């Protein structure tokens, strides 16, 4: 598979993921009648379904990372050529912003936005580290052919058991930073989330190695 095809898959897949997350958040908030729990449940279900489909569609093309820390982990392990890492991350970040803009366009919102939703504090940072740790461990240890379902299920669960609602993805942080909607995050809150995600991913790699390194899905 040529690099340009893999990068296109990462860009389109990440854009699709952010369009699902942000768009379903807008729809959920409009229809939930003021109930944050109902809105979060609707947002969760849409994200689980969308993420599963996107991984199945783009996994054979690019690995369906859609996430800079996942790509960095794969490069660290030698499963992604290191020369491809920065292009992968660039495609993911661009896709995240495009996905946010697509969601805004579909709901006739201003394309260019910055979120005002503050998400900060030790509990949220810990939650993001836990969310990313779990995501990477699932990816690294999922049996062959089951990663898509397991990743989608884990993210759906982590929406509810983590205080941060499980961004677990620096590209998602960027996309959601660009959207002043239900799923948004204020720019000042983004660095703490990204640092927590990087630390969670590093810990997952260490734990995976400590467990013997078996179980990586094909």
pLDDT tens-digit map of 18-49? 999 999 999 999 999 999 999 999 999 999 99
* Per-residue pLDDT, 217: 45
* Per-residue pLDDT, 213: 75
* Per-residue pLDDT, 31: 96
Average pLDDT rounded to a whole number, residues 82-104: 98
Structural domains for the chain: 3-210 (1.20.1080.10)
* Per-residue pLDDT, 218: 41
* Per-residue pLDDT, 72: 97
Looking at the chain, the whole-number percentage of residues with pLDDT higher than 90 is 95
Average pLDDT rounded to a whole number, residues 61-82: 96
* Per-residue pLDDT, 212: 87
What is the pLDDT of the chain when averaged over all its residues? 95
DSSP string covering the chain: --HHHHHHHHHHHHHHHHHHHHHHHHHHHHHSTT-HHHHHHHHHHHHHHHHHHHHHHHHHHH----SHHHHHHHHHTTSS-HHHHHHHHHHHHHHHHHHHHHHHHHTT--SS--------SHHHHHHHHHHHHHHHHHHHHPPTT-HHHHHHHHHHHHHHHSTT-----HHHHHHHHT--STT---GGGHHHHHHHHHHHHHHHHHHHHHTTS-----
Is 0.85 topped by the overall pTM? Answer: yes
Average pLDDT rounded to a whole number, residues 99-119: 97
pLDDT tens-digit map of 122-160? 999 999 999 999 999 999 999 989 999 999 999 999 999
Residue 216 has pLDDT above 60, yes or no: no
């Amino acid at each position: 598979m040529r690099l340009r095809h893999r990068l296109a898959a990462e860009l389109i897949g990440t854009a699709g993921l952010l369009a699902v997350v942000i768009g379903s958040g807008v729809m959920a908030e409009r229809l939930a009648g003021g109930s944050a729990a109902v809105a979060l449940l609707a947002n969760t279900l849409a994200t689980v379904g969308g993420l599963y489909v996107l991984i199945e569609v783009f996994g054979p093309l690019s690995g369906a990372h859609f996430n800079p820390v996942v790509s960095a982990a794969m490069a660290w392990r030698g499963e992604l050529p290191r020369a491809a890492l920065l292009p992968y991350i660039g495609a993911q970040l661009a896709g995240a912003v495009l996905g946010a803009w697509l969601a805004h366009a579909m709901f006739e919102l201003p394309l260019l936005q910055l979120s005002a939703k503050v998400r900060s504090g030790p509990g949220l940072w810990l939650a993001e580290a836990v969310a990313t740790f779990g995501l990477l461990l699932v990816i690294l240890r999922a049996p062959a052919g089951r990663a898509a379902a397991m990743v989608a299920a884990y993210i759906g669960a982590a929406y509810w058991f983590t205080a941060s609602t499980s961004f677990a993805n620096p590209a998602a942080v960027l996309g959601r930073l660009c959207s002043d909607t239900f799923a948004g995050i204020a720019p000042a809150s983004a660095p703490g989330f990204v640092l927590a995600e990087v630390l969670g991913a590093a810990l997952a790699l260490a734990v995976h190695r400590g467990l013997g390194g078996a179980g990586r899905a094909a």
